Chains A and B, each alone.
Chain A
Amino acid sequence: EIVMTQSPATLSVSPGERATLSCRASQSVSSNLAWYQQKPGQAPRLLIHGASTRVTGIPARFSGSGSGTEFTLSISSLQSEDFAVYYCQQYNSWPPITFGQGTRLEIK
Chain B
Amino acid sequence: QVQLQESGPGLVKPSETLSLSCTVSGDSISSNIYYWGWIRQPPGKGLEWIGSVYYVGSTYYNPSLRSRVTISIDTSKNLFSLKLSSVTAADTAAYYCARQARSNPWFDPWGQGALVTVAS
Contacts and interface: CB of A to CB of B under 8 A. Distances in A.
Interface string A37-59: 00000111110011000010000
Contacts of B104: 32, 49-50, 91
A20 to B, nearest CB: 20
B26 interface: no
B106 to A, nearest CB: 4
Nearest to A97: B49
A43 B97 CA distance: 10
B107 A89 contact: yes
Interface stretch (A11-19, A60-68, A73-81, A99-107): A99-107
B64 interface: yes
Interface string B31-74: 00000010000000011110110000000111110000000000
A44 B105 contact: no
Interface residues of B, number: 23
Nearest to B62: A96
Given A95-B63, A96-B62, A96-B63, A46 B49 contact: no
Contact of B107 (A32, A44, A100, A102): A44
B27 interface: no
A96 B49 contact: yes
A83 B96 CA distance: 22
B16 to A, nearest CB: 25
Contact of A94 (B46, B105, B112, B113): B105
B71 to A, nearest CB: 12
Contacts of A42: 112
Nearest to B105: A91
